[in-house]
Amino acid sequence: MTQLSRRNFLKLTGSSAAVGTLSLAPIAHAQQGSPPLPPGSTTLPYPRELVTKLSELAINQPIYFSYPDDRSPCVVIRRGREVKGGVGPEKDVVAYSTQCTHMGCPVTYDQEAEAFKCPCHYSIFDPDNTGQMVIGQATENLPRVILEYDDTEDALVAVSIDGLIYGRQANII
Ligand code: FES
């Protein structure tokens, strides 16, 4: 049986390291060449999905749906007055992910308080101010579903999300 001398061992490990460096170099270069994506962004396209007809949306009555896939629960609300980021003729329709940004519990819309409440650790989010976290354990706002209103069809269409859905590294996976 042949024994490796110290010199030959070092030669081998040295050349292995060189091969490793060569094979990783293009990856390192590619990473340096493209700026890092902000959290929640993706190079994949968001789907355009009908949420509901505006005429089916009563003021302050939430309708729940999923976007951008079945594992991402969301809610749309017509506020009855113009709000930040609102769409539609009155700019009063907004939509959000219903997964709390603290630990992912499902937030519910409290019609009396006109706010989203998380039952797990009592975070509260403001539907009239782009899902802003008002109080509680969460530190991030609720991700906002970006809507478009098609007046020819009276349709509210989800087109993307602003903010990272809880538990994901990118919204589209
Ligand atoms: S999971 Fe919502 S406050 Fe903790």
- The span from the CA of 87 to the CA of 148, in Å, is 7
Q: Pull the structure tokens for residue 45.
A: 């396209």
Q: What tens-digit pLDDT sequence spans the chain (173 residues)?
A: 445 444 443 343 344 433 333 333 333 333 445 556 666 566 689 999 999 999 999 999 999 999 999 999 999 999 999 999 999 999 999 999 999 999 999 999 999 999 999 999 999 999 999 999 999 999 999 999 999 999 999 999 999 999 999 999 999 88
Pocket of ligand 1 (CB under 6 A): 100, 102-103, 105, 118, 120-121, 123, 136-138
Ligand 1 pocket test, candidate residues 116, 121, 139, most atoms within 8 A of CB: 121
Instruction: Give the global pTM.
Output: 0.77
Please, are residues 38 and 25 in contact by the beta-carbon 8 Å criterion? no
Q: Is 102 a catalytic residue?
A: yes
Which pLDDT score is estimated for 4? 45
Ligand 1 pocket test, candidate residues 96, 99, 105, most atoms within 8 A of CB: 105
- The span from the CA of 162 to the CA of 158, in Å, is 11
Q: Which fold has domain 49-162?
A: Rieske Iron-sulfur Protein (2.102.10)
Please, are residues 124 and 115 in contact by the beta-carbon 8 Å criterion? yes
Domain ranges of the chain: 1-36, 49-162
